[in-house]
Structure 1
């Protein structure tokens, strides 16, 4: 009898091994995309997906079916805003009110809270679908030549996270020993993020626990990297320990919500936020800054950062849209010209959910909303810019970026002209970044195609240009 039992057990073990081999073989056969690499970032467009607001359904499945549409825009990296369950305790209803301040059950139910108040790092928000739905999203993205990175919030958790009761030592506490929301270290006062509890990396056990939560997604769900929220509020020591461990599993792309140069060193983060250029673009439209200030930002990057450091260029993102206004509020009639700049300057351009559909209102942050889906003006503009970014090495913008050469014009306060070049390819940008007509000369000669219109343009030496407000050329051979 014992022999029969042992034989059955042995056969079962062999069968399990065979099944495992079959699964591994299937996984190898079905993988449709090469690992992410530095080369990927050179000509990539990144798309920030707000799953809740992308569709009336607000689900993974509704987003997944549109992934081929994103491919038309040249998107190579999809950044998913947090996809995890959201804490109920202290859940935000508005910037000032918690759901606990609202008595009417119907009103209370409509407030879904901030996606950045996470109750479980390795689970899926059921409002968005199931883990199988998420896996299908990743698989579909890979089949369409796109990588998927997850938004990661290492600085704080929601108040329902199990660590608050199981590991209170992971959190900052006040003089009474109570866990606190993030406080301004200079004043000791709250930043207003009352729906989250502030993690304290003085606990070395927290380093290990958080690293393991990140590893889960790389090992088990085949994701391709992370966008790390308020990355410089987390000690560099954590990233120095964790990022190499992630990269041992597979190559990952790391985007930080920061522009601190120390986090770009030694193979840590691959890309930072181009905050300074973004703010200058807003201010140029306001009339408080000029092209000279943008020149200064580019010069500063050249001095303070290493040659292979690069940034994400954007006219909007979830924070800008909801809290500071749409690009149309901040950039006025300059939106198209500034959008073109995010593709032409060194770096990687970002499209935020709805920008491709001319979204011209602020999306709600704590409750359900939805973007328009009509293709009017901007979809075709993003499509053209994406095709140029993907295909012309003169716009490479990553660790091995094409050169950037500022061209002096006769009106440099308002006119931005520059040349991008790599190997035998060149692309020129000439733009009037002002609200007034500009007459000027620029040192560009020869016959080119005005890329956005398809028209031939022949330029002579010392030729005078007459540009209307926000008019721009992208010139290619």
Structure 2
């Protein structure tokens, strides 16, 4: 009897130890190694859009994770992961728009991996990228290096293999025949051409709760720091008004929207929008269809239509631009470096898209496996230098408590873009010839500055004549 009691005590103690160990392991796994994301985070951050599939020959989380210290050199504070979820097989498309299911050759068919944005399961991992443990290690490594991780979220549509198609057809838009449809243009009723996805219908209140819960999973269970929300203004505002506060009850999160609609930046919804208008003007200046005066008009519009603490992501490229409209070199020509510097110095947060740091000069395949170059050439040290300035100079604060922005007039304002940012006694000036011709001009600026990119001293005087070559620019610090 005594032996039985002793054995029972020993077993109980062993189980207790195991439970304690499990609890300890769980605690270790969820320990924060980085302060929660905050408004201050965005003031001096650089964001990196990670296309895991194309980042490396392996196309895996692990191959990307080992390079996170390289991103730290670039001043990256936020990593945006393009969709990491399983991709639907049904209605997969080829690069030239055919259905993969129509291809007879097995080798040819296997090439097409599908769109990242045709999701078959919101809470699973695409096995091509690795395991959930690999993903957790990526998040942990990012946090240890002072970076936050946000996930690409596609609330507007699912892939055709998603279980909701059969289990909850009421979650989807349907045509007159009662068939689930791909997303349609509400003004014309015609397809956008996204035929590999099925359009969700938020008139169904149960869908609102289901989608919110899918988002909550990643915040609660996987310790991610926010979301980049695809076509955010195509989803009813009421959904975001329900979902975002629920996410923020769990922990602070950073919310980026693929939109520039001002109403979505109000009332604590999205933190940052897309700087589409400035981006398109940059492209058009290189084409010769617009000038710096049109860029001025963008800043004037922002000052009138948005609140002072609204801010945008600035970019010369992203996955959509690269895949469908060409690289920044295709669209901006010899102005790439001048525009890159501009995205860092103007109000907002600058973006680096996968491969830009390695001088990627071709479109990345969207539906197939591809890979970026990994040789540091011209742009890596430029991004590194600009990232250090953005991270450390308050005059470039660009979030909810931004540094001031003042346009500086010149004698050639149609081609010379000059402005000053200032905060806490620090100043940064940008003066750039955003044209394909030499420009002679004067500015009303007095003082001695440092040309940040070269380290040289620059003394300016009112009415002093300057001659800038095409796309020449200065980033001046006091």
Shorter-chain-normalised TM-score: which range? Answer: over 0.9
| 1:11-90 correspondence runs (5 A) | 14-15=16-17, 18-19=20-21, 21-23=23-25, 25-27=27-29, 30-90=31-91
Distance 1:293 1:461 in 2: 25
Equivalent residue, structure 1, for 2:396 = 395
Q: Show the 5 A alignment for 1:138-177.
A: 138-177=139-178
Per-residue CA deviations over 1:83-123 (Å, capped at 9, x if unaligned) read 00000000011252110121111101100010000000011
CA distance in structure 1 between the aligned counterparts of 2:468 and 2:66, rounded to whole angstroms: 41
Q: Secondary structure at the match of 2:422?
A: strand
State the match for 2:254 in structure 1. Answer: 253
Specify the SS of the correspondent of 1:330.
helix
CA deviation vs aligned residue, 1:395-419 (integer Å, no higher than 9, x gap): 0000000000001111101011100
Q: Which residue of 2 aligns with 1:186?
A: 187
Matched residue SS, 1:137: helix
Q: TM-score, normalised by structure 2?
A: 0.97
Write out per-residue CA displacement over residues 309-348 of structure 1, whole angstroms, 9 at most, x where no aligned residue.
0000000000000001110010001110011110010000
Q: Provide runs of 4+ in structure 1 moved above 4 Å.
A: 1-17
Change (3 A) 1:248 1:95: farther
Query: Gapped runs of 5+ residues in structure 1?
Result: none
State the SS of the aligned residue for 2:210. helix
Q: Kindly report the root-mean-square deviation, in angstroms, between the aligned alpha carbons of the 2 structures.
A: 1.7
Partner of 1:244 in structure 2? 245
Give the 3-state SS of the residue equivalent to 2:84 in structure 1.
coil
Offset at residue 66 of structure 1 (A): 0.6
| Secondary structure of the structure 1 residue equivalent to 2:374 | coil
Which is further off, 37-46 or 86-95? Answer: 86-95
Cα offset for 1:3? 9.0
Q: For 1:16-415, list aligned pairs within 5 A.
A: 18-19=20-21, 21-23=23-25, 25-27=27-29, 30-415=31-416
Kindly state the Cα deviation for residue 26 of structure 1 after the two structures are TM-superposed.
2.7
Secondary structure of the residue aligned to 1:359 is coil
The CA distance in 2 between the partners of 1:104 and 1:228, in whole Å, is 36
Aligned length: 476
Alpha-carbon distance in structure 2 between the residues aligned to 1:469 and 1:190: 42
Q: Which residue of 1 aligns with 2:419?
A: 418
5+ residue gaps, structure 2: none
Q: Offset at 1:462? A: 1.5
Residue 185 to residue 25, structure 1, CA distance change in 2 (3 Å): closer
Q: Aligned pair in 2 of structure 1 residues 207, 13: CA closer, same or farther (>3 Å)?
A: farther
| Partner SS for 2:122 | coil
SS at match of 2:198: strand
Aligned to 2:463: 462
Q: Deviations over 1:13-41 (max 9, x none)?
A: 7546533542354347x532111111010
The CA distance in 2 between the partners of 1:242 and 1:215, in whole Å, is 9
Aligned partners of 2:254, 2:99: CA distance in 1, in Å? 35
List per-residue Cα deviations over 1:46-102 (Å, max 9, x = no partner): 000000000011000110111011000000000000000000000011252110121
Using the alignment, how far apart are the partners of 1:27 and 1:177 within structure 2?
Answer: 47
> What CA distance in whole angstroms lies between the structure 2 residues aligned with 1:297 and 1:85?
39
Please report how far the alpha carbon of residue 7 of structure 1 lies from its aligned counterpart in structure 2 after TM superposition. 7.0
| TM-score, structure 1 normalization | 0.97
Instruction: Kindly state the Cα deviation for residue 352 of structure 1 after the two structures are TM-superposed.
Output: 0.2
SS state at 2:406 partner:
strand
Q: Secondary structure at the match of 1:430?
A: strand
Mean Cα deviation higher: 449-458 or 40-49:
449-458
More off after superposition, 73-82 vs 100-109: 100-109
Deviates more, 1:172-181 or 1:19-28: 19-28
